[in-house]
Amino acid sequence: MEIEEKKRTIQKPSFPRQRPGKGAFFSTFKNSGRIKLIAEIKRKSPSAGVICKDFDPLSIADEYVKGGASAISVLTDEKFFGGSPEILRLVKSKFPSTPILYKDFVIDKCQIYEAYNAGADAVLLIAAMLTDEKLEEFIQLCNSYGLDPLVEVHDEEELERALRCGAYIVGVNNRDLRTFTVDINVSLRLSDLIPEGVVKISESGIKDLHQVKLLEAKGFNGLLIGQAFMESENRSELLRKMRLGEN
């Protein structure tokens, strides 16, 4: 559904389903302990093409929950990732206690309404796609509905903007969205610049236990992993091993 159609058809929620402010997603990753994993559901991507031919999102979500995922990210963009808000709604309905991230190219507040209506607990906001004014507006709008905004950055300038606009969950994307090149050193470099009290998540290109341990040592609260899990023949076992630090 194109953005103009979304504006016409998506209803603004009349009241929050939970108290405004920081929600379940933030609480999950703010708690101390071992690094936590966000397992992603996606059919395809611009960089990898079709990742999963036999795409059964509920079965995939079940594997993730059995493997101990702390949260699930659902791609809702149809054109580039083969997703939909309906997939998110179905996953949340089946696993109501698991925090769910609405992951899309959010450029209009109607998408935040869509995320809320589908049952999401958190919404991805990409700093590179939004002005400071819009980013601050969307963070506040998410807060008003009890949704946690995960603000994605790729460099020092975007991180500074995110923090200035009120981000309290920062996702460092190791992938340059302009070139699709992936470098985990982006997360390692930016980690020390993220203030204490802000939840920090590393995203993209995380494939093995060595990387997990590097990022955990740098103080990341969570990792968002998609392709490595989606391509695995035993998603729950791979997730369990990464979560527990087993080879």
Specify the pLDDT at position 47: 77
CATH (domain of 160): 3.20.20.70
- pLDDT tens across the length of the chain (247 residues): 688 888 888 988 877 666 677 899 999 999 778 899 999 999 888 777 777 778 999 999 999 999 999 999 999 999 889 899 999 999 999 999 999 999 999 999 999 999 999 999 999 999 999 999 999 999 999 999 999 999 999 999 999 999 999 999 999 999 998 888 999 999 999 999 999 999 999 999 999 999 999 999 999 999 999 999 999 999 999 999 999 988 7
Q: Note the pLDDT of residue 1.
A: 62
Alpha-carbon span 147 to 19, nearest angstrom: 10
> Does the residue 219 lie in any domain?
yes
User: Structural domain of residue 186, as residue ranges?
Assistant: 16-244
Q: Note whether residue 10 is domain-resident.
A: no
Determine, yes or no, domain membership for 4: no
Residue 11 lies in a domain: no
Q: Is residue 9 part of a domain?
A: no
Contact 143, 20 (CB under 8 A): yes
The predicted pLDDT at position 11 comes to 86
- Is 136 contained in some domain? yes
Check residue 195 and give its pLDDT.
97
What is the number of domains present in the chain?
1
pLDDT at 67: 97
Confirm whether 191 is domain-assigned: yes
In a domain, 190, yes or no: yes
Annotated catalytic residues are 40, 42, 103, 152, 173, 203-204
- Tokens for 214, please give them: 């590097």
| Cα 122 to Cα 152: distance, rounded to the nearest angstrom | 12
